[in-house]
């Protein structure tokens, strides 16, 4: 097989990149280790920055997103009796779109398939070769057979546990990491959300988040410790804990129901650089991880692949390599700012096991400042809706 861009991974990064390249007449093949059903069932976050939604529109995959996505002009933060509403639209003139990553993934898969795109599931990439010089190639296993793809470029969109990052020699690759001493236990249910807008909660028992997928489907999270197992959390225990942490008015409105999905995710911040090595380009979770506070993961993936598609368009259209050369620096400048915001929001809202009374005092002062300062709220809003792409 031969293609212009071989893409490893059919998460949002790989699918969106493939679709953006298609719009510009650039050929790609997407190889995905998991089954189609697995990829379509994965539950992830669901807040799209306006810039991300615009990229999805340019990729021609926005029909359902625009019909079903819910525009949010504000977001709530709660701590004790204090409620802060950040007026996203008022401060920035921009909004966010609540639309599940699961839905976006389905839209992109269906779009690629309808257009006859080469998207191969259960194709495990086991080797990536010759990215430094010559013609890159990928070896993958599919249906018990080993096959090869030869290409001009490899896009490593294979997430945090993928293999493409390992093609960058250890003396070149830098990894910057912070692990947080807690996780998020998430529950999805077909119950109406407690509030029109998301509520991020700093509670003495730990963080909580009230989010949603639609007017009939809610997504909730509570901070948990890393040694907890999802089996220890019956639905009843989850709902009781959530109710304790939610502000009183929201708790009074809470409707409970059976969980459709329940899982624990650890929280970490990771940045790897450079994001390019020869003819290999990393995008999305393959290059960086953010804690989910602030919902930046999918949005960073979208800006990466937007920059990468632009760089390939410059190369194939005008023979211009400048954007390919500048890809890593361009992405990282945006990534570090989203990393900073996600880290800051995580630090502001969680209960840290080793937190001293001093640390708690600083946290409360920060929340007090956010509640009282228009400037602090504007800075929050600017970051939450997404910095310019």
Mind telling me the catalytic residues?
A: 72, 200, 292, 296, 384
Contacts of residue 162, Cβ cutoff 8 Å, sequence gap at least 6: 8, 9, 156, 286
301 binds, among ligand PHB, ligand APR, none (CB under 5 to 8 A by kind): ligand APR
To the nearest whole angstrom, how small is the minimum distance from the Cβ of residue 317 to ligand PHB? 37
Please say whether the beta carbons of 9 and 30 come within 8 A: yes
* Least separation in angstroms between CB 41 and ligand APR: 11
* Window 155 to 184, contacts with ligand APR (CB under 6 A): 157-159, 162-163
Of positions 20, 21, 31, 198, contacts ligand APR by CB under 6 A = 31
Of 33 and 219, nearer to ligand PHB (C-beta) is 219
The site partner of 136 among ligand APR, ligand PHB, none (C-beta below 5 to 8 Å per kind) is: none
Query: How many of the chain's residues bind ligand APR (CB under 6 A)?
Result: 28
Question: Would you say 193 or 297 has its CB closer to ligand APR?
Answer: 297
Tally of helices (H runs) and strands (E runs) in the chain = 12, 19
Interacting positions 105-144 with ligand APR (CB under 6 A): 124-125
Instruction: Give me the least distance between CB of 285 and ligand APR, in Å please.
Output: 4
Regarding 8 and contact with ligand APR (CB under 6 A), the answer is yes
Q: Please, what is the minimum distance in Å from the beta carbon of residue 313 to ligand APR?
A: 20
Q: Tell me whether residue 217 is exposed, middle or buried, using C-beta atoms within 10 angstroms of its C-beta: 0 to 12, 13 to 18, 19 or more.
A: middle
Nearer to ligand PHB among residue 55 and residue 295 (C-beta):
295
**Which span sits near ligand APR by CB under 6 A: 39-47, 106-114, 198-206, 381-389?**
39-47
Only one of the segments 9-17, 78-86, 266-274, 320-328 lies at the binding site for ligand APR (rule: CB under 6 A); that segment is 9-17
**Residue 383 contacts which entry, ligand APR, ligand PHB, none (Cβ below 5-8 A, type-dependent):** none
Q: How far is the CB of 46 from ligand PHB (least distance, A)?
A: 4
Which of ligand APR, ligand PHB, none sits in contact with 47, Cβ below 5 to 8 A by type? ligand PHB
Interface positions with ligand PHB (CB under 6 A): 45-47, 198, 211, 219, 292-295
Partner in contact with 219, chosen from ligand APR, ligand PHB, none, beta carbon below 5 to 8 Å by kind: ligand PHB
Of ligand APR, ligand PHB, none, which one sits near residue 162, judging by CB under 5 to 8 A according to partner kind?
A: ligand APR
Question: Which stretches of the chain bind ligand APR, using CB under 6 A?
Answer: 8-14, 31-34, 39, 44-45, 101, 124-125, 157-159, 162-163, 284-286, 297-298, 301
């Amino acid at each position: 097989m031969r293609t212009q861009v071989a893409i490893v991974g059919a998460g949002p990064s790989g699918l969106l990149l493939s679709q953006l390249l298609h719009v510009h007449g650039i050929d790609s093949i997407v190889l995905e280790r998991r089954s189609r059903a697995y990829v379509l069932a994965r539950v992830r976050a669901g807040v799209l920055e306006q810039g991300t939604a615009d990229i999805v529109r340019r990729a021609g995959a926005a029909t359902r997103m625009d019909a079903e996505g819910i525009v949010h002009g504000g977001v709530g933060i709660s701590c004790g009796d204090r409620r802060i509403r950040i007026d996203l639209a008022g401060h920035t003139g921009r909004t966010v779109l609540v639309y599940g990553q699961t839905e976006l993934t389905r839209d992109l898969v269906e779009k690629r398939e309808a257009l006859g795109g080469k998207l191969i599931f259960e194709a495990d990439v086991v080797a990536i070769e010759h990215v430094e010089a010559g013609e890159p190639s990928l070896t993958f296993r599919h249906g018990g057979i080993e096959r090869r793809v030869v290409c001009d470029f490899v896009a490593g969109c294979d997430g945090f546990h993928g293999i493409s990052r390992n093609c960058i020699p250890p003396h070149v690759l830098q990894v910057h990491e912070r692990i947080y001493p807690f996780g998020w236990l998430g529950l999805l249910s077909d119950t109406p959300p407690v509030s029109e807008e998301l509520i991020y909660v700093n509670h003495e028992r730990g963080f909580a988040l009230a989010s949603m997928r639609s007017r009939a489907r809610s997504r909730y999270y509570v901070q948990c410790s890393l040694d907890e197992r999802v089996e220890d959390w019956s639905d009843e225990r989850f709902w009781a804990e959530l109710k304790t942490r939610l502000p009183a008015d929201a708790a009074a409105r809470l409707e409970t129901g059976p969980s459709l999905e329940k899982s624990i995710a650890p929280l970490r911040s990771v940045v790897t650089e450079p994001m390019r090595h020869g003819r290999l380009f990393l995008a999305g979770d393959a290059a960086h991880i953010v804690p989910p506070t602030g919902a930046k993961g999918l949005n960073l993936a979208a800006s990466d692949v937007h920059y990468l598609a632009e760089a390939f368009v410059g190369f194939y259209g005008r023979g211009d390599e400048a954007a390919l050369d500048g890809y890593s620096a361009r992405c990282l400048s945006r990534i570090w700012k989203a990393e900073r915001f996600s880290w800051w929001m995580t630090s502001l809202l969680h209960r840290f096991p080793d937190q001293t009374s001093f640390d708690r005092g600083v946290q409360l002062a920060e929340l007090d400042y956010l509640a009282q300062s228009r400037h602090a709220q504007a800075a929050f809003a600017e970051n939450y809706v997404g910095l310019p792409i």
